[in-house]
Amino acid sequence: MSSSFGENIRLMIFGQSHGEMVGAVLDGLPPGEPVDLAALQTFVDRRAPGRGDGRSARQEADRVQIVSGLYQGRTCGAPLCLWIANTDARPSDYAPLLSVPRPSHADYTAALRYGGYADPRGGGHLSGRLTAPFTAAGAICSQILARRGIAVSGHIAALGGVVDPSPETHSLAKEELALLTKRSLPVFHDDVALRMQQAVVEAAAAGDSLGGVLEVFALGVPPGLGGPMFGGVENRLAAAAFAIPGLCGVEFGCGFAAAAMRGSEYNDRYFQAVDHSVRTYTNHHGGVLGGITSGMPLVMRAVVKPTPSIALPQCTLDLTTGRETELRIQGRHDACIALRALPCLEAAVAFVLLDLMLDGEYRQPQTTGRRKGEDEKNGENG
């Protein structure tokens, strides 16, 4: 299984949904970085199950344990290994699914890919349970980014057809983002939160599920990160985001809405700010041009599909008999994955941005037009 990712920092995710634990290894973190364990736990708690509001009833404390990579509260250069115990597994819920795959779930494709040896309990290694250590790893990266002036946070932009209008991103403030993490439902508008919650309640009561759209912002991202072609910022962000089960689409800036715009409407006009940095009056490009950050806020959206595991009876195929059959899924499942997926996407963005910050080819852009070597040479010659 391809369960590792990253260029300068390597992230490996391990474990299965109903195994003893799930965990992650981060190798290549900058040494000497303090890790706030309380803040780390708070970040991870945002995606935890068992909190009502249409989330899975699985009761997991999701306490993060760090077993290596820290010394006196700081990263020490060794690989950082963290794990989270699985304390409320119920593998018996999945016994009926061994030969009867859930529609739009990875049961069937995992069985094909791994010759029938994949752990089928709760999706095994393909489960959303694996986003717990992924989120923890990203939370650590987010702390490191914050000390470099970069803030990453987001909101549920849409859920079950209810939309949370986004602010103008070119003037978005870090204080606005910080407030989102303190809300029970991370949205900008209180009335929207109530309507979203009602939509989830109604879907769950009907034995059904909902999809949603997540939007994540990164403020303070320096210009010049990334590169063209295959190593672009969007490439790496999309690759990390699709590690989150249930994601089925991503876009940046205006995204697909740009198809209905003219160039005169879409183009972002440049100006020089008071601090002499180059900015744009609008941010339709979402902070990335040619795979390289522009210095404007990074804006990324992701579509989360409705949860495949629903209580309503569904028609599927019995792989043993080759006949269609009715499936009634037991167990504990989210009525809307998007409710818990937002911190996972924030974690993915934080990991990739820190990875990009450590790229060897990145240099802070020079405002004088001189190359760094020329400035050093002139200085040496006095």
Q: Which residue bears the tokens 């803030």?
A: 151
Q: What is the model's pLDDT at position 365?
A: 54
Of residues 269 and 118, more confidently modeled: 269
Cβ neighbours of residue 305 under 8 Å, at least 6 residues apart?
Answer: 104, 211, 246, 247, 248, 337
Does the pLDDT at position 382 exceed 50? no
Whole-number percent of the chain with pLDDT over 90: 65
pLDDT at residue 116 in the model: 81
Average pLDDT over residues 61-77: 95
Residue range 118-133: average pLDDT?
84
Quick one: average pLDDT of 240-264?
96
pLDDT band at 35 (very low <50, low <70, confident <90, very high): very high
Q: Which domains does the chain have, with CATH numbers?
A: 4-381 (3.60.150.10)
Query: In a 10 Å sphere around its CB, with 0-12 CB exposed, 13-18 middle and 19+ buried, how is residue 128 labelled?
Result: buried
Q: Which regions of 86-179 does DSSP assign to beta strands (E)?
A: 151-159, 162-163
Three-class secondary structure assignment of 30-57:
CCCCECCHHHHHHHHHCCCCCCCCCCCC
Rg (CA), the chain: 22
Please give the model's pTM, rounded to 2 decimal places: 0.89
End-to-end CA distance of the chain: 57
- Mean pLDDT for the chain overall: 88
Token pair listed for 9: 């920092």
Give the mean pLDDT of 218-226.
Answer: 96
Q: Which residues contact 366 (CB under 8 A, 6 or more apart)?
A: 372, 375
Q: Which pLDDT score is estimated for 98?
A: 72
* pLDDT one-digit tens code per residue, 84-108: 998 876 666 666 667 888 888 888 8
Among 175-184, 194-203, 297-306, 354-363, which stretch is predicted with the lowest mean pLDDT? Answer: 354-363
Among 45-49, 142-146, 197-201, 320-324, the minimum mean pLDDT is found in 45-49
What pLDDT is attached to residue 368?
41
The residue-averaged pLDDT of 315-326 equals 90
Reply yes or no on whether the pLDDT at 291 is more than 50: yes
With cut-offs at 50, 70 and 90, classify the pLDDT of residue 370: very low
Confidence of residue 263 (pLDDT cuts 50, 70, 90): very high
Q: DSSP code of 348?
A: H
pLDDT at 381: 45
* Predicted local distance difference test score (pLDDT) of residue 93: 66
Under 8 Å between Cβ of 188 and 155: yes
Three-point CA angle 239, 241, 245, nearest 5°: 115
Question: Is it the case that residue 110 has pLDDT exceeding 90?
Answer: no
Count of CB atoms situated within 10 Å of the CB of 123: 25
Asked if residue 262 has pLDDT above 80, the reply is yes
In the predicted model, is pLDDT for residue 377 greater than 70? Answer: no
Name every residue whose Cβ is closer than 8 Å to that of residue 58 and which is 6 or more positions away in sequence: 49, 50, 88, 90, 332
pLDDT higher than threshold 60 for residue 81: yes
State the pLDDT confidence band at 55, using cuts at 50, 70 and 90.
low
Instruction: Give the model's pLDDT for residue 119.
Output: 81
pLDDT at 59 over 70: no
Q: Is the pLDDT of residue 58 over 70?
A: no
pLDDT of residue 50: 57
Instruction: Give the pLDDT band of residue 367 (cuts 50, 70, 90).
Output: very low
Summarize the confidence of residues 1-14 as an average pLDDT. 90
User: How large a percentage of the chain has pLDDT more than 70?
Assistant: 88
